[in-house]
């Protein structure tokens, strides 16, 4: 009997354990005088009770045990040698083995890196999708606020108003010359009325009227958004042209101005326009001392937990 | 007795066999994990295939790392923060939120006319107010002042005396601008000799927000 069993051959043998041993024992029944099940210890009393068989049984057990032992020992020694071809010389094999091990370690490391990067990218993409949502929302908010703040040029139907100093060539000595001029408060009154009539945007000589805009004068010079203006003053408003014109034409509106138009020749005209263009505010916005009572929380804009 | 000793022998042999089987099984398990081919040809094949696959893996890892960097950059948290700051600034400017800050408080105990209120608002703007209110009305660009049945109307809401003007900004600057010689306060003292007018610097003012929300019906943005 050849004892050089390869481990491959033995594998199923081992896997099934004792039941295989039983079968193995039974396979050899023909070679022996008597069947000897491995679980002889549990033999029924009728068979175990026959004394003439005891010696035979003991011998069989020893033979089988020895065989099995030998078999396994042999198998154990033979195990690591699947002799398919001639082995490489030792030194070369060592180098090859080391190289393979290094390459395998490198492979494991790369796979780990790739796995981690994929996870990172996936979570980043998810975050980006959520952030793009809030970015879009934020852009819309920003546009809305810019529109409201006068930071965007507008066009639309509206009213064009022109105010100018009197065309009179000479001022009688008895008259106050200021009665012949356009004053900053007249512009202020006109602007106030236009807002009341639902104007959506107003500009005076291309200076957009915004929240910080004051209309005042230094000497006889009118300043708007800290820019010096000179007559004629053209006020442009976007809104319902009829409503805008109506509020200016109302008898109790701009009474002193209208009186001066009549008495001193101050010029005041207005005309509806199907489309006027109002430029964006070009001045600075200084917010240094004011804070939102409820600050815009960053978390409001961050992706929600469910996203 | 003989039967008994046979049984014992058998048991012992089975035990040894069992132990050996287990050992065999374990040895095999270990070997299966680290089997490296023995033949020079097989080793060469394995090394070259590992080398090739590692090359591909490294390329993949590099591509992924580049993608990850790109994504990280594209997130652009700074831009988001800038936009949040700009929205906050404009919300203050547009009176879209309640605000707080130092400034001045001007209380005029008199039946002011709409023009006076309008001029005072203009004066506050000119003095450099970052945010202002009269009564409980926040002043915004489109704030209009009018009179209805002898009462002052601001933002379509009645405002009654005493008129309380609040302006957020540098308190000293605002105070100096309003109290200057020949300024509006001097005019008010002249126009309303019996009026009580008090101007005080404030460390912290709280201003309401502008209630109305309107969407433009006539105005369209000019295309850039």
Report in angstroms the alpha-carbon separations of B151 from B62, B110, B193: 75, 12, 20
Interface of B with A in 192-221 (CB under 8 A): 206, 216-221
Residues from chain B contacting residue A57 (CB–CB below 8 Å): 3, 6
Same domain, A97 and A71: no
Q: What is the pLDDT along chain B (224 residues), one digit of tens a residue?
A: 556 787 788 778 777 777 777 776 666 555 544 567 777 788 888 888 888 888 888 888 998 899 888 877 766 667 778 888 889 999 999 999 999 999 999 999 999 999 999 999 999 999 999 999 999 999 999 999 999 999 999 999 999 999 999 999 999 999 999 998 888 888 888 899 999 999 999 999 999 999 877 788 999 999 76
pLDDT at position B144 is: 95
- Mean pLDDT over all residues of chain A? 77
Residue A209 lies in a domain: yes
pLDDT band for position A98 (cuts 50, 70, 90): confident
Q: How far, rounded to the nearest angstrom, does the alpha carbon of residue A237 sit from its chain's CA centroid? A: 41
Domain range B99-207, CATH architecture: 2-Layer Sandwich (3.30)
Q: For residue A287, is it within any domain?
A: no
Q: Inter-chain contact B16–A69, Cβ cutoff 8 Å? A: yes
Does the beta-carbon distance from A200 to B218 stay under 8 Å? yes
Chain B hits for A82, CB-CB cut-off 8 Å, are 38
Q: Report if residue A182 sits inside a domain.
A: yes
Please determine, for residue A1, whether its predicted confidence score (pLDDT) is greater than 50.
Answer: no
| Structure-token pair, residue B101 | 């800050």
Tell me the average pLDDT across A12-25.
Answer: 40
Own/partner long-range contacts of A110-115 (Cβ < 8 Å, ≥24 apart) = A110/B54, A110/B57, A110/B58, A110/B60, A110/B61, A111/B57, A113/B61, A114/B57, A114/B60, A114/B61, A114/B64
* Residue from A63, A64, A52, A61 nearest A24 by CA: A64
H-state helical runs in chain A: 7-16, 18-27, 45-48, 54-78, 90-149, 184-196, 241-249, 255-264, 298-301
Instruction: Band the pLDDT of A157: cuts 50, 70, 90.
Output: very high
Picking from B15, B19, B11, the residue whose alpha carbon sits closest to that of residue A61 is B11
Q: Is the pLDDT of residue A67 over 80?
A: no
- Cβ–Cβ < 8 Å for A307, A133: yes
Quote ipTM for the complex.
0.71
A159 inside domain: yes
How many domains is chain A partitioned into structurally? 3
- Rounded to a whole number, what is the distance in Å from the CA of A243 to chain B's nearest CA? 12
**Per-domain residue ranges for chain B?**
2-28+44-70, 99-207
- Indicate if A114 and A62 belong to the same structural domain: no
Q: Is residue A296 very low, low, confident or very high in pLDDT (cuts 50, 70, 90)?
A: low
**pLDDT class of A207 with cuts at 50, 70, 90:** very high
pLDDT in tens, A251-295: 988 999 999 999 899 999 999 999 999 999 988 888 999 999 876
Q: With CA atoms as reference, report the closest residue to A255 among A242, A244, A240, A268.
A: A268
Domain CATH code at residue A233? 3.30.70.1880
Boundary of a domain, candidates A78, A112, A129: A78
Task: Supply angle C-alpha A162, A165, A166, rounded to 5.
Answer: 115
Place of tokens 């490294």: B58
A250 and A307 co-located in one domain: no
- Helix, strand and coil content of chain A, in percent to the nearest 5, comes to 50, 15, 35
- The verdict on a CB contact (< 8 Å) between B217 and A14 is no
Query: Quick one: closest CA in B to A190, which residue?
Result: B144
Which domain, by its residues, includes A142? 88-152+296-307
A–B: how many Cβ contacts below 8 A?
307
Kindly determine whether residue B3 and residue A141, on different chains, have CB atoms separated by under 8 Å: no
- Across the range A184-211, mean pLDDT stands at 95
pLDDT at A4: 41
**A201 & A259 share domain:** yes
Report yes or no: B31 at the A interface, CB cutoff 8 Å: yes
Q: Is residue A289 part of a domain?
A: no
CA distance B53 to A111: 11
**Are both A273 and A159 inside the same structural domain?**
yes
Single out the residue in A49, A78, A107 at which a domain terminates: A78
Residues A145 and A215 in one domain: no
Q: In terms of pTM, does the model score above 0.80?
A: no
**Over the stretch A35-46, which tens digit does the pLDDT of each residue have?**
444 444 444 444
């Amino acid at each position: 009997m050849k004892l050089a069993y390869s481990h491959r051959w033995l594998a199923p043998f081992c896997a099934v354990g004792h039941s295989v041993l039983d079968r193995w024992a039974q396979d050899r029944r023909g070679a022996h005088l008597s069947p000897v099940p491995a679980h002889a210890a549990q033999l029924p009393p009728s068979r175990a009770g026959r004394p003439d068989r005891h010696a035979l049984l003991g011998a069989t057990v020893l033979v089988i045990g020895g065989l099995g032992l030998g078999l396994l020992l042999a198998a154990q020694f033979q195990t690591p040698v699947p002799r398919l071809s001639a082995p490489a010389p030792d030194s070369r094999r060592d180098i090859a083995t080391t190289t393979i091990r290094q390459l395998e370690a490198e492979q494991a490391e790369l796979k780990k890196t790739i796995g981690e990067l994929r996870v990172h990218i996936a979570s980043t993409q998810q975050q980006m999708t959520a952030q793009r949502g809030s970015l879009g929302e934020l852009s819309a908010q920003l546009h809305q606020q810019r529109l409201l703040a006068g930071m965007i040029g507008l066009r639309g139907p509206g009213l064009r108003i022109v105010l100018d100093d009197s065309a009179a060539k000479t001022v009688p000595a008895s008259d106050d010359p200021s009665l012949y001029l356009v004053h900053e408060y007249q512009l202020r009154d006109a602007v106030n009325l236009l807002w009341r009539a639902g104007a959506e945007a107003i500009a005076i000589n291309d200076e957009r009227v915004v929240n910080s805009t004051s209309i005042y004068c230094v000497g006889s010079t009118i300043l708007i958004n800290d820019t010096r203006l000179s007559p004629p003053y053209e006020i442009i408003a976007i809104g319902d042209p009829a409503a805008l014109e109506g509020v200016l034409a109302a008898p109790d509106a701009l009474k002193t101005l209208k009186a001066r138009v009549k008495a001193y020749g101050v010029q005041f005209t207005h005309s509806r326009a199907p489309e006027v263009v109002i430029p964006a505010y070009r001045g600075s916005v200084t917010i240094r001392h004011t804070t939102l009572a409820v600050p815009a929380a960053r978390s409001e804009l961050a992706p929600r937990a469910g996203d | 007795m003989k039967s008994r000793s046979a049984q014992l022998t058998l048991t012992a042999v089975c035990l040894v066999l069992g132990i050996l089987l287990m050992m065999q099984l374990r040895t095999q398990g270990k070997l299966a994990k680290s089997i490296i081919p023995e033949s020079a040809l097989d080793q060469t094949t394995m090394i070259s295939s590992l080398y090739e696959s590692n090359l591909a893996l490294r390329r993949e890892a590099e591509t992924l790392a580049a993608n990850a960097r790109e994504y990280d950059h594209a997130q652009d948290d700074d831009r988001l923060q800038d936009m949040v700051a700009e929205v906050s600034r404009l919300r203050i400017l547009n009176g879209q939120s309640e605000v707080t800050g130092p400034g001045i408080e001007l209380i005029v105990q008199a039946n002011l006319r709409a023009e006076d209120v309008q001029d005072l608002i203009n004066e506050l703007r000119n003095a450099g107010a970052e945010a202002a209110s009269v009564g409980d009305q926040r002043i915004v660009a489109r704030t209009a002042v009018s009179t209805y049945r002898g009462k002052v109307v601001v933002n379509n809401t009645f405002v009654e005396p005493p008129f309380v003007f609040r302006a957020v900004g540098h308190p000293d600057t605002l105070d100096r601008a309003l109290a200057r010689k020949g300024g509006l306060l001097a005019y008010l003292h002249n126009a309303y000799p019996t009026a009580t007018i008090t101007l005080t610097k404030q460390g912290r003012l709280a201003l309401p927000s502008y209630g109305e929300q309107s969407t433009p019906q006539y105005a369209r943005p000019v295309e850039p």
